[in-house]
């Protein structure tokens, strides 16, 4: 049985095709409509099949900007193999500028391997898992911190129990070639429903990257994403002649379990007492929680449960109980 989603792109065809994935959708105001997800295939002869996606989350803009630029500029003569571009992987979320889809409120990075009988976000995941990731020799998934997160530019390499050492080495090499300052070796806390985790566990060399933050996009963040993406694509062999500039050496880190996260102990205003990149000691004060409803109560200190480097933190000051306030990384040796 095929998937519910269909496409006007023939993934086996030579040449450049710009089209869409179409997800049948029958909401209140449209009986027989579809949701279009822009996509492209640029294929030229034998060589690696490389998939690049942006907008898994709709409030992260560097990925869609750079993938769209590739879609406009790259011609079949530039390619050896096949470049598959998904600039709007979660198009409804992208159109709404939201992390999750406004249609079904699902996070595309929590639904793999997808479900033909599920909600729209699950259906698009299923199509890509079945029809595109099955072709892929490499996958690059471009993210950013979005509207709610400050984060250091970085790549993520998924390492799971039982992963082939050769795949770990290949992914490590991709991170080094990508050439941004920090690489986080992650187990995703055992959650493999993200597209990059799904492909990693499926044996496909994969890199995910966090290239911006705060729900804005700047010349610097786009340039950094473009340059790193070009290095990645040249390294895979799919764009053998693309011009590149050198990256920087990457520092290998990991997020060391639950103690690396600081969560809000209650609803309130969080007075943050740290900055991105700070060196943090175990037990250091992370900030103060000011009580909304109890002005007579002194603000409550919040502490770091472990030490490390301040890798990411929440953007808003008004937080609810359990909301993430900070994430630490610890340095490790290269795998």
Which stretch, 79-87, 114-122, 136-144, 270-278, contacts Zn ion (CB under 5 A)? Answer: 136-144
**CB atoms near residue 271 (< 10 Å):** 14
Residue reference for tokens 């900030």 = 287
Tokens representing residue 327 in the block: 């994430």
Residue 175: CB minimum distance to Zn ion, A: 17
Least distance in Å: CB of 295 to Zn ion? Answer: 37
Q: Of 97, 121, 112, give the one whose Cα is nearest residue 37.
A: 121
Which of 44, 63, 62 has the alpha carbon at shortest distance from 52?
63
What x-and-dash track marks residues 188-227 binding Zn ion by CB under 5 A?
A: ----------------------------------------
Nearer to Zn ion, 7 or 154 (CB): 154
- Strand ranges for the chain from DSSP E: 6-7, 15-25, 33-44, 49-53, 81-86, 138-143, 149-151, 154-158, 182-186, 206-210, 251-254, 261-263, 268-272, 279-280, 285-290, 300-303, 308-314, 318-319, 324-331
Give the contact letters, 11-50, x = binds to Zn ion (CB under 5 A), - = no.
----------------------------------------
Shortest distance, position 90 Cβ to Zn ion, whole Å: 10
Task: Please state, in angstroms and rounded to a whole number, the distance separating the CA atoms of residues 327 and 307.
Answer: 10
Which is nearer to Zn ion, 60 or 78 (by Cβ)? Answer: 60
Cβ proximity to Zn ion, 50 vs 108, nearer residue: 108
In whole angstroms, how far apart are CA 121 and each of 20, 35, 149?
A: 15, 11, 22
CB of 233 to Zn ion, least distance (A): 20
Question: Tokens 């979005």 — which residue?
Answer: 146
Of the two residues 11 and 150, which places its CB atom closer to Zn ion in the complex?
Answer: 150
**Minimum gap (Å) between residue 79 Cβ and Zn ion:** 27
Kindly state the smallest distance separating residue 303's Cβ from Zn ion, in Å: 28
Under the binding rule (CB under 5 A), the answer on residue 156 touching Zn ion is: no
Whichever of 143 and 231 has its CB closer to Zn ion, that residue is 143
Footprint of Zn ion on 47-66 (CB under 5 A): 57, 60
Residue 143 touching Zn ion (CB under 5 A): yes
> Of 4 and 122, which has the nearer Cβ to Zn ion?
122
Closest separation between CB of residue 304 and Zn ion, Å? 24
Rounded distance between C-alpha atoms, residue 142 and residue 65, angstroms: 10
> Which of these, 185, 205, 160, lies nearest to 250 by C-alpha position?
185
Query: With respect to Zn ion, which residue has the nearer C-beta, 210 or 227?
Result: 210
Which residue number places its CB atom closest to Zn ion? 143
Query: Do β-strands 149-151 and 279-280 pair in parallel, antiparallel, or remain unpaired?
Result: unpaired
Find residue 81's DSSP bridge partners. 44
- Distance of closest approach, residue 63 Cβ to Zn ion, in angstroms: 8
The number of residues that bind Zn ion (CB under 5 A) is 3
Residue 240 token pair: 């053998």
Residues found near Zn ion in the complex (CB under 5 A) = 57, 60, 143
């Amino acid at each position: 049985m095929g998937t519910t989603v269909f496409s006007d792109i023939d993934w086996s065809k030579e040449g450049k095709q710009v089209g869409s994935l179409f997800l049948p959708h029958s909401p209140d105001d449209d009986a027989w409509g579809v949701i279009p997800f822009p996509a492209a295939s640029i294929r030229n002869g034998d060589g690696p099949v490389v998939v690049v996606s942006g907008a898994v989350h709709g409030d992260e803009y560097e990925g869609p900007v750079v993938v769209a630029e590739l879609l406009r500029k790259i011609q079949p003569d530039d390619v050896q193999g096949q470049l598959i571009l998904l600039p709007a992987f979660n198009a409804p979320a992208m159109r709404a500028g939201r992390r999750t889809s406004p249609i079904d409120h699902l996070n595309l990075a929590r639904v793999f391997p997808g479900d033909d009988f599920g909600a729209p976000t699950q259906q698009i995941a299923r199509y890509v898992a079945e029809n595109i990731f099955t072709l892929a020799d490499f996958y690059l998934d471009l993210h950013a911190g979005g509207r709610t997160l400050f984060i250091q530019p970085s790549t993520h390499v998924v390492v799971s129990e039982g992963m082939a050492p050769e795949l770990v080495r290949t992914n490590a090499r991709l991170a080094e070639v990508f050439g941004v300052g920090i690489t986080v070796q992650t187990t995703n806390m055992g959650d493999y429903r993200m597209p990059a985790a799904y492909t990693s566990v499926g044996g496909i060399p994969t890199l995910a990257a966090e290239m911006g933050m705060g729900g804005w996009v700047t010349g610097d963040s786009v340039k950094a994403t473009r340059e790193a993406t070009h290095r990645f694509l040249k390294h895979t062999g799919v764009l053998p002649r693309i011009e590149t500039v050198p990256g920087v050496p990457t520092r290998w880190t990991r997020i060391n379990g639950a103690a690396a996260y600081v969560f809000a102990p209650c609803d309130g205003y969080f007075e943050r007492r740290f900055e991105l990149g700070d060196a943090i000691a175990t037990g250091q004060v992370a900030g103060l929680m000011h009580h909304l409803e109890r002005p007579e109560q002194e603000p409550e200190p919040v502490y770091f449960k472990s030490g490390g480097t301040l890798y990411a933190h929440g953007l808003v000051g008004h937080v609810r109980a359990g909301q993430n306030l900070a994430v630490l990384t610890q340095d490790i040796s290269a795998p």
